[in-house]
C-alpha cells in the first residue's frame, strides 16, 4: 500500500465516522421536544450546540471529500494556487491542505 492509498483509506474512515456523527446529531435535533417551558429553553440552547457540532462535522466532510477527489485526480499534494508541492510535513499536519505554506500565509494575512 502506498502512502497515498493509506491516506485515502484513513480519510474514508474519517468520512464514515463523520457521516455517522452527523446522522446521530440530526436524530437528536429532530427528537420531540418536551412541552415544559423551562426544559424547552434548555433544549433550544442544546440544539444550538448540536447545530454547531453538525456544522463543524459538515465542513470537515466537505474538506475530506475534496481531498479524496484530488487524490483520485492525481492532484493531491499540489498547491491549488501556485501548483508547487505542498510538502509531506504540512500534509501530515493538515491532510486536507489545498495551499502550500507560502500561499496559505499570504491568504491568511
Identify the bridge partners of residue 65 per DSSP, sorted by sequence position: none
Cell of 42: 434548555
Q: Does 82 bind Zn ion (CB under 5 A)?
A: yes
Owner of C-alpha cell 475534496? 66
Q: Does 98 bind Zn ion (CB under 5 A)?
A: no
What's the full length of the chain, in residues? 109
Nearer to Zn ion, 67 or 103 (CB): 103
Contacts of 46 (CB under 8 A, 6+ apart): none
Site for Zn ion in 50-79 (CB under 5 A): 79
Nearer to Zn ion, 57 or 103 (CB): 103
* Angle at the Cα of 56 from the Cα atoms of 51 and 58, rounded to 5 degrees: 90
Pick from 81, 91, 94, 95 the residue near Zn ion by CB under 5 A. Answer: 81
Q: Does 7 bind Zn ion (CB under 5 A)?
A: no
Nearer to Zn ion, 71 or 101 (CB): 101
Contacts of 80 (CB under 8 A, 6+ apart): 98, 99, 103
Nearer to Zn ion, 43 or 84 (CB): 84
Q: Does 11 bind Zn ion (CB under 5 A)?
A: no
* Contacts to Zn ion by CB under 5 A: 79, 81-82, 100, 103
Amino acid at each position: 500500500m502506498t502512502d497515498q492509498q493509506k491516506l485515502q483509506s484513513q480519510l474514508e474512515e474519517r468520512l464514515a465516522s463523520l457521516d455517522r456523527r452527523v446522522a446521530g446529531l440530526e436524530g437528536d435535533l429532530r427528537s420531540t421536544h418536551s412541552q415544559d417551558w423551562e426544559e424547552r429553553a434548555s433544549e433550544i440552547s442544546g440544539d444550538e450546540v448540536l447545530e454547531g457540532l453538525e456544522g463543524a462535522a459538515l465542513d470537515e466532510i466537505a474538506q475530506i471529500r475534496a481531498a479524496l477527489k484530488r487524490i483520485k485526480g492525481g492532484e493531491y499534494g499540489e498547491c491549488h494556487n501556485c501548483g508547487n508541492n505542498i510538502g509531506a510535513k504540512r500534509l501530515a499536519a493538515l491532510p486536507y491542505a489545498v495551499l502550500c505554506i507560502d500561499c496559505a500565509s499570504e491568504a491568511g494575512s
